[in-house]
């Protein structure tokens, strides 16, 4: 999908701890894309003047003035879209098996203004044998009015869909699109050039993306009757739309978040070996360097490092953008008032992934913390996030990836 590229592995194994857009109590459960409305709504998050004038805002970087962004009413903070993902690549050697993977992509709106929409995306991959999902990456995606009009977002405006017509290299068809036992009135757009084809289906009434598939490379050995049976194939299909409501979404962030410059986490990535062999331990560090605070929107660079180790693995680092807003699960802070008053127990169950989000106040080595846990009932993954009950800062992180025999543990060691 278009927009900002997801972060690359292995950095995502750490970053996913913060990018997991776990579900919460839904405000509405529409039956398919007909649920979201088509009303054009004003910007709900008018930002305060920027106190850090010297830092550019990556949401507003363009070579030309950005068009004002007009949104359907269902694209709003807290909205969560889930898609089924399928990927495959045929081997060049007919005697060797190709590669294939399935999973889910979960995209949550965490910020909206007059020029851009910011999504936090988490990619889940199904286990090779267990077929149970686990978070394996993700990152922010930014969509401007231009990208939406060009069909590079999770939606198009219904008015724009009406104006689409076929031309050289582009085919536009209107008709029923079957999905989950329903036949949606859709607009199907196909773009084809030599060795590449891409197709998108949109719901006519809402503009929501129902399906995207693409293929590239040479035709597969089994033939290419429909134009999509090329060496590499990718597709995603709409699963659910929900609007989430977590207790901290509307709460005032801690005062220190308006001036914080850096948060540093250190810990280890532990890889367990079968047969009782000693585990492999890699020391890691994450540095969140804040560059700009605009009201409740915070942005900067995240540097993920592999530190000096006994295994002789070279030190390395990866740098990427990060964003903090109140509309996140796994963010760098939660207001302490919310942590101390929030109900303990299950906050949400994801209807697609079947994972649960729970909260409890627990005593441990770091003292008493407010602990969020997202986990799959199979045990394929578990993410544990511990927050300081006095200042709200994220103090402790642990991710357990059962199918990959990995555990990642990080602790806050510095904040400036």
Helix (H, G, I), strand (E, B) or coil at 16: helix
CA angle at 105 for the pair 96 and 291, rounded to the nearest 5°: 115
Residues of the chain with CATH 2.40.360: 255-415
Kindly tell me the burial class for residue 289, based on how many C-beta atoms sit within 10 Å of its own C-beta (0-12, 13-18, 19 or more).
middle
- The CATH class, in words, for 255-415 is mainly beta
3-state per-residue secondary structure call for 319-336: EEEEEECCCCCCCCECCH
When computed from its CA atoms, the radius of gyration of the chain, rounded to whole angstroms, is 22
| Nearest Cα to Cα of residue 387 among 239, 253, 224 | 253
293 Rama sector, left if φ>0, alpha if ψ -120 to 50, beta otherwise: beta
Report which of 342, 298, 249 is spatially closest to residue 44, judged by C-alpha positions.
Answer: 249
Structure tokens at 268: 């280890």
Q: Which pTM does this prediction carry?
A: 0.83
Contact 18, 137 (CB under 8 A): no
Q: Which residues pair with 289 in a beta bridge?
A: 262, 301
Q: What is the pLDDT along the chain (416 residues), one digit of tens a residue?
A: 333 333 222 333 233 333 333 333 333 334 444 444 333 333 322 333 332 334 444 444 444 455 789 999 999 999 999 999 999 999 999 999 999 999 999 999 999 999 999 999 999 999 988 899 999 999 999 999 999 988 899 999 999 999 999 999 899 999 999 999 999 999 999 999 989 999 999 999 999 999 999 999 999 988 887 889 999 999 999 999 999 999 999 999 999 999 999 999 999 999 998 777 889 999 999 999 999 999 999 999 999 999 988 888 889 999 999 999 999 999 999 999 999 999 999 999 999 999 999 999 999 999 999 999 999 999 999 999 999 999 999 999 999 999 889 999 999 999 99
């Amino acid at each position: 999908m278009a927009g900002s590229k997801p972060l690359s592995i292995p950095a995502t194994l750490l970053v996913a701890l913060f990018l997991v857009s776990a579900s919460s109590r839904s405000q509405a459960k529409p039956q398919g894309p007909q649920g979201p409305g088509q009303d054009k709504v004003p910007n709900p998050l008018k930002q305060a003047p920027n106190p850090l004038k010297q830092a550019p805002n990556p949401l507003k970087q363009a070579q030309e003035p950005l068009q004002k962004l007009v949104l359907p009413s269902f694209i709003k903070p807290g909205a969560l879209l889930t898609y089924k993902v399928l990927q495959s690549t045929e081997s060049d050697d007919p005697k060797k098996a190709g590669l294939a993977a399935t999973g889910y992509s979960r995209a949550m709106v965490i910020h909206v203004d007059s020029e851009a929409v910011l999504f936090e995306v988490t990619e889940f991959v199904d286990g090779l044998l267990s077929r149970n999902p686990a978070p394996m990456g993700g990152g922010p995606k930014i969509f401007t009015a231009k990208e939406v009009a060009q069909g590079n977002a999770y939606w198009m405006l219904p008015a724009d869909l009406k104006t689409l017509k076929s031309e050289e290299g582009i085919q536009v068809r209107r008709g029923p699109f079957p999905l989950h036992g329903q036949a949606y009135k859709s607009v199907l757009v196909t773009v084809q050039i030599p060795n590449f084809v891409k197709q998108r289906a949109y719901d006519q009434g809402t503009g929501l993306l129902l399906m995207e598939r693409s293929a590239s490379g040479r035709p597969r050995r089994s033939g290419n009757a429909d134009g999509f049976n090329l060496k590499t194939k990718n597709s995603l299909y709409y699963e659910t739309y929900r609007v989430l409501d977590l207790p901290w979404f509307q709460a005032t962030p801690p005062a220190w978040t308006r001036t914080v410059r850096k948060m540093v986490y250190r810990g280890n990535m532990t890889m367990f070996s079968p047969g009782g062999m000693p585990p492999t331990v890699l020391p890691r560090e994450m540095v969140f360097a804040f560059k700009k605070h605009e009201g409740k929107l915070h942005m900067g660079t995240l540097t993920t490092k592999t530190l000096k180790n006994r295994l002789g693995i070279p030190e390395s680092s990866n740098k990427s953008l990060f964003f903090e807003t109140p509309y996140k699960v796994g963010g760098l802070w939660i207001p302490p008032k919310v942590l101390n008053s929030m109900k303990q127990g299950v906050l949400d169950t994801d209807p697609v992934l079947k994972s649960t989000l729970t909260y409890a106040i627990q005593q441990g080595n770091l003292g008493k913390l407010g602990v969020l846990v997202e986990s799959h009932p199979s045990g394929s993954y578990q993410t544990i996030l511990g927050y300081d009950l006095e200042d709200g800062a994220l103090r402790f992180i642990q991710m357990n990836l059962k199918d990959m025999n990995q555990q990642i543990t990080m602790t806050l060691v510095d904040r400036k």
